[in-house]
Each structure stands twice: as structure tokens, then as C-alpha cells.
Amino acid sequence: MSSLYELLTERISEARAHRASVLKAPADSAGEVYEREIAAERLAKEIGRLEGAEKGLVFGRIDWTDGTALRIGRIGLHTEEDDLPLLVDWRANAARPFYEATPVHPMDLRRRRHLRLEERTVISVSDELLDGTAPTEEDVVGDGPLTEALSARRTGRMHAAVATLQAEQDAIVRSAHRGVTVVQGGPGTGKTVVALHRAAYVLYAFPRAAEEGVLVVGPNARFLDYISQVLPSLGENDVVLATCRELAGVSTSTVDPFDTARLKGGSDLADALAGLLRVHQAPAGDFTVRVGQEPVHLSGEEVATARDAAVAAAPGHNPARQVLKELLVDAVTDKMQRDMGDLLEQIDADAARMTGMDLDRFTGAAQRRAEGAADSGPVHELDLDAVRADLLDDADVDRAVEVLWPRLVPGDLVKALLTNAGALAEHLPRLTERERSLLLRGPDDPWTDADVPLLDEAASLVDGPPERTYGHVVVDEAQELTAMQWRMIVRRCPARAMTLVGDFAQAGPVATARDWKEALSPHVGPRFKVHHLTVSYRTTQEILESVRDLLTRIAPDQKPTRSLRSGESPRTVTAPPDGLATAVVQELRAQSTAHPGELLGVICADTRVSELTAQGIAHHARVVPASEARGLEFDGVVVMNPEEIATARPGGERDLYVALTRATKRLCTITAQPA
């Protein structure tokens, strides 16, 4: 083990020295400065990757029946002198048997060894014998790392499971599918862990995706904080974690009623914004500008030709406006040139009629042109390039273009739709009058969460595609996304390479899709593959049994997951309606005394959070509104007034199902006594 850490230290030192020399290198031009910065940034990432792998550098070893052995770790390490690597990256093909071998299919392995390190010291060893041979003195057979990980205390942060990925999880992580990979599974099946390890694998296995980066989208900041350490612990720091609000760069503090939010999430709103935009793109009319003392006029047909060419040439209204301006100026100068030619021909014809002389023959200009001689530059010739440059900078020309094709701001486009009953009726004819009235807002109303995808849609229509796109996108709690939010995600992933994680039994009240086909087909067609996780590693069998009837009501077609773990049966405590908070405090004190150091969570209706926080419950446990509990886990969970959660918002029974399945060990529900 010491030799591996010595090699890691050596590689870190080499990378630091290389970066320092790169930064000191002279750069005589802007191009050389840029190249130096790129090289330094690449080396900084490599240093971060190596340093991130130090904790738990090695976690496994596989021994073949022929005596060959490989160590498995967070990164790969090798030297030129050795044929075999000293350490195999867990994502490498050579590491597959560590995850896939079983006693039924040992893959020529005799032993799979699991190691646990603290600092740089091995503190535990556990072996699995796979070929049916008897243990020897060198084998350490125990319960295994999975059992240890499942029984460990929660810390409030998700950790990498690279040492304990199970075969069905590893198969998804290593999938060669380049399109959309969907991970469907019930509570505790490790969906999020699989998705994050899938992101790490993509960065390793698919260089193009690694160059363009990976985006992880989560439902809220609380969830992203919970998963934030997983990828850095796998040596991957070049990953962006964001909510939809952060992607759009919009800050909101207001939420719409659920009926309104559901309407704003529908794809009809995208069509409405696009239709409203077209009203501002030279729908009709001609174009006239003054050049010197003379007006130059373009017909409506000429303007329409320029408009169509501008729309085809540039994505985004404002970039296309500049194209339109250039096309109109080109048309004006072309028309000036034609008019000048026509005028000169008319002058020559009039002179010939009055004098009986051919002026071209008389001056010899025609002969000189035929012989290719330089013309002396008659006064009537135009410098078209100069005229064009002047017109592009002319304020009057810009004002004339503004009438046809005004510059727009994304927020103003959204307001123009949502504050105007006539615009809503014109562009959303399929909605009822009542539905359109729900969308109508005041001009000074603050933006809401449901407005974020509309603003992002408007930004893409007005200014073009987002500045940053990604080679691969991971979406957790993907069942929560509305059609408009899906459009946000797909815009940022041109290759349509995504890993999506979700469970429609846990869907919230705003999303309307009932399955993955309905959610994804409008955006990626048939290019998605659904994987089902069937085993719960976190939630005990007793807790899963307690919510089976609830699951049947909210998702009758969903097959229940089975658990590998057993534990305490869930408990129910009743209290007077005005004593629920007191009962929660008492239960938390009892659990803290009986199980010191464990992570406790209280899940309640959103409207109860302030009350519980005021009671000082945050000193004993984390208070989580039911709407934000998806994806979280605790050693013990107290669910306050489940009936209130179930009725707090549409689809509340799904919120309750989520709340009741967040515990890894103990679940207690505190209900109100009947009046």
C-alpha cells in the first residue's frame, strides 16, 4: 500500500512542478498566453483529480484462479517498468469482475477482497470466495462491505459507493448506450448513487463527453448539497451541479398555485412564445431609407425574402435582427447600383437621340473597358463598400429596421404574453378561458418558480442557444420535470446523452407525465433505454411493508421493491392537535438518547416548517418540508401529521410516500388525535 501512495505523491509533485514551469514560461503573443493558460488549467484539473483520489485510494483487489491479482481503486496508477498496472481505475474494463463476479458466475476469480482505509492505513479487510474453495489463512471472510455500509450512520452527505456497487447497479453505470439512460427504482434502490457513478464513468469512457463536461441537475439546493461530495471523491471535479433556476440565471422567491404552475409547465407555452415572437419579425411592410438626398425603397416582397433568410441564418431573434439589417442594406446598395445603371443608360439614350452621336464610341470608354484598361473613374461611379458601411452605422437605418424587427429582452417577451389577455387568447387557443385567466399576471408581479422555464425558453428564442452546453447531463428526480423544464435540459445537451433518475410513484403535483415514454418522447424520440432497479439497499423491509397499501393507491402498476435489510417496525404516536410539536420534541429526545450520534430528520407539511423551527427542533434534527424530501435519507425519521402532508397539495399522498421512506433504520409517525 505504501508504494501506491508513494507513487501518487510522486505524480502530484510532478504535476505541480509541470504547472509551475508552464506558468513561468514566456509568452510573446496573445495566442501563446492563451495556450499557456489552457495548459495550466489542464494541469490544475489533473492535480485536483490526483488529490481527490487520496482518501480511500484503494478499496479492492481481485485474485484470479491462476494467481494473477489486480488492485482496484479510485484512479489508475502504473509505471513503465511494470507490465500490469499497480492500481486499476474502477471504471476500466479490467475492473468489471470486481463488480460482476458471483459464486454462480465467478469469471475465473478465486477471491474478491474489500479494503477500507483511514488516512493511508488499512483498517479492515473482507474477502468473498467465489470459486468454491475453502478459506485459507490468508483469507478474511466476514459480513462484507455492503452490510457495513448499510448499517453505518448517516452523515447528512451522500458518499461514493464505488466499493459496494452491486451487479445490477454496475451494469447501468457501465452501459455503452450513448443516448438517454433511464434509471427507474423505488426508495433506497441507489438510483442517485448509480447516476453519479454513471457520470464519473462517462467522463472516463467517453472522451468527447469529458471535453464538453457533465451537468448534474437536481430538484433543489438542499439535494445538491447532499450529493455534492460524491463526484469529487471519485476524482471528478469538472462537473457542474445546478437547479433549473441556476441554469436559467433567474432568482425567484414566489411560487404559483399548482393549477397555474401545471399550465406554465406545458409545452403549449413554448409554441405561444414562438408565435408571439414572430409578430415582431417583419411580418409585413416595406422598407425605405434615405441615402444622401434620395429615398431608396424596398418592397414588402423584398423585405419578406430578407426576413426568411435572416431567420434561417441565425438562431435567436436578436442575432437574426443584425443579419436582417445587413441583408436589407445589401438590397439597398444593389438597388442603388441598378438604379444608377438604368439612369446612365437613359442619359446615354437621350444624348444619342438629341445629338445623333454614340457617346461611348466618341469617348472610347467602351474600347478601354474591352481591353481591360483602368478607367479614369468617372464621377458617376459609386463606392458601394463605403456606402454599405455608412448605412450599417446610420442611426436612421437602424430606426427603420427597429420598426420591422425590434430588439427584444427575454423577460419582456414573457410579460407580453402573460400580461395581455388578448395575446393569451390568440396564442393559446386550446386553453379554456378559465385556464388563460390563471396564467394572466400583473406587469409588476414578481417572477415565480414556474416562470423560470418560460424565461429560459424566451432567452433561447431571443438571444439564441445557451452559452454553455454539455456532453452528458444527469437529472435526478427526473419524474418532477415539466415539459418546459425538459426543454431547458435538452437545450443544454445537443448530443442528447443523458442519465435520468426517477420514480413516478414519487412524482410531485406539477409534472403531468405518467411514464417515461410520455415524458421523453417529445424531446428525444425513442432514443432512451429504461433500467429497473429491483432491490432496496437503504429502506428496511418493515418500512416498505408499511407503505405497500399507499404505493398500491398512488402507483397501482408499479412492482414493489424488495429489501435486503430488516429492522425495527415503524411506530405511530398520537398527540392532541395542539401538542404535535411537543410530541415531536419528546420523540427526538428519546431517539437521541437511545441512539447518540445518529442523523435524525423531521418531515412535515411545508406550512409547519416555521413552527417547528421556532420550537428549537433544529437542535435535535433536520427539519425538512415534505416537498423537498425527495432523495434524502436519515437514520431515523419522524413524520409529523401524515394526514396533513397527504392533503397539503395535489398529489399529497406521493409526498407522504416519500416522507415515509426516508429512514434507513427507524420510522415514527406522529398523528393528531381525533377531535
Whether 649 and 539 have beta carbons less than 8 Å apart is answered as no
If one counts every other C-beta atom within 10 angstroms of the C-beta of residue 617, the result is 22
* Long-range contacts of the stretch 89-98 (C-beta < 8 A, 24+): 89/204, 90/59, 90/60, 90/162, 91/174, 91/200, 91/201, 91/204, 91/205, 92/204, 94/70, 95/62, 95/70, 96/170, 96/174, 97/62, 98/60, 98/62, 98/72
> What count of residues does the chain have?
675
If one counts every other C-beta atom within 10 angstroms of the C-beta of residue 574, the result is 13
Question: In the sheet where 571-575 sits, what is the strand order?
Answer: 571-575, 663-672, 634-640, 600-604, 622-625
Helix (H, G, I), strand (E, B) or coil at 648: coil
Q: By C-alpha distance, which of 307, 275, 302 is closest to 286?
A: 302
Largest Cα–Cα distance of the chain, in whole Å?
123
Q: Please give the Cα distance from 122 to 427 (Å, whole number).
A: 66
Q: Is 611 exposed, middle or buried (0-12, 13-18, 19+ CB in 10 A)?
A: middle
Q: Please give the Cα distance from 574 to 669 (Å, whole number).
A: 8
Q: Please give the Cα distance from 63 to 108 (Å, whole number).
A: 9
Helix (H, G, I), strand (E, B) or coil at 91: coil
Pairing of strands 498-502, 663-672: unpaired
Whether 457 and 273 have beta carbons less than 8 Å apart is answered as yes
Helices and strands of the chain, counted as H and E runs:
30, 20
Half-sphere exposure of 346 (CA within 13 A, CB side): 6
* Segments of 244-379 assigned E as strands: 287-291, 294-298
Instruction: State the DSSP code for 579.
Output: G
If one counts every other C-beta atom within 10 angstroms of the C-beta of residue 449, the result is 18
Residue positions in the annotated binding site? Answer: 185-192
Q: By C-alpha distance, which of 264, 661, 334 is closest to 483?
A: 264
* Segments of 412-488 assigned E as strands: 472-475
C-alpha cell recorded at residue 225: 448539497
Q: Please give the Cα distance from 199 to 470 (Å, whole number).
A: 12
Residue positions in the annotated binding site for ATP? Answer: 185-192
Whether 533 and 509 have beta carbons less than 8 Å apart is answered as no
Whether 286 and 300 have beta carbons less than 8 Å apart is answered as yes
Q: By C-alpha distance, which of 114, 86, 122, 82 is closest to 98?
A: 114
Pairing of strands 622-625, 600-604: parallel
Contacts of 145 (CB under 8 A, 6+ apart): 114, 116, 126, 163, 164
C-alpha cell recorded at residue 623: 427539519
CA–CA distances in Å: residue 319 to residues 283, 396, 467: 17, 20, 14
Q: Please give the Cα distance from 530 to 171 (Å, whole number).
A: 12
Q: Which residues face 112 on adjacent strands?
A: 62, 128
Q: Please give the Cα distance from 212 to 210 (Å, whole number).
A: 5
